[in-house]
Structure 1
Amino acid sequence: MAPSRVFLLCLFFSLLASPLVMAVEMQIGSSAMKIDCGSACNGRCKLSSRPNLCKRACGTCCSRCNCVPPGTAGNKEVCPCYARLTTRGGVPKCP
């Protein structure tokens, strides 16, 4: 193979791989930073009919996963760890 083709192939594959490397670096970097679970859960639970229970469950989930989905309900796909946590009965734990 000609040297110019090798160079172009290397350049092409490095461009494909760079977003993946950045995503992994961002996840590694974000796991080192702790979020403020108190204020995140206050926002998540502000419309709950049982705010104290909601904040307690959310706080547990936040401390384990280091993330809280945005908004007051749903959006759990943003934080898969938060969405996977369940009670002993198999019911979703996190509000």
Structure 2
Amino acid sequence: MKLAFAALLLVSLVLASSLHAMAGGLSPQPAPGLCDTKCGERCQKAGEKDRCLQYCGICCQKCQCVPSGTYGNKSECPCYRDMKNSKGTAKCP
């Protein structure tokens, strides 16, 4: 009887943890192609376009938004605006 109870308890814990991961333990991802499209617009006039696209993509994946236009408008996305690099300057273009 004790063995059956222990097995039931173990199965319950495994199911509960997997349901937690499915329900909200994982962060939502932006729609496929959203970051590519938005960052393409944002970086179209950048001097270092490849670098702009790279960092914009990182910021978009984390913040799930990209400010409109090719420069400025960062108040539209506070997460994007406030992300800093290791030197303490703005990470997102």
TM-score, with length taken from structure 1: 0.65
**Structure 2 segments unaligned to the other structure (5+ residues):** 1-26
Residue correspondences, number: 65
Q: Match for residue 34 of structure 1?
A: 30
Whether 1:51 and 2:49 are equivalent positions in the alignment is yes
- Give the root-mean-square deviation of aligned CA atoms: 1.6
C-alpha offsets along residues 9-53 of structure 1, whole Å, 9 cap, x if unaligned? Answer: xxxxxxxxxxxxxxxxxxxxxx96724100100000000000000
Residue identity opposite 1:69 in structure 2: P
**1:1-95 map, 5 Å:** 34-35=30-31, 36-95=34-93
Distance 1:33 1:90, change over 3 A: closer
Give the fraction of aligned pairs with identical amino acids, expressed as a percent.
42
| Counterparts of 1:32 and 1:40, CA distance in 2 | 18
- Which residue identity lines up with residue 93 of structure 1 in the other structure? K
- Structure with more helix by fraction: 1
In the TM superposition, structure 1's runs of 4+ consecutive aligned residues that sit over 3 Å from their partners are: none
Kindly provide the amino acid, as one letter, of the partner of residue 30 in structure 2: K
Q: Could you tell me the TM-score, scaled by structure 2's length?
A: 0.66
Contiguous gaps of at least 5 residues in structure 1 = 1-30
Distance 1:58 1:32 in 2: 18
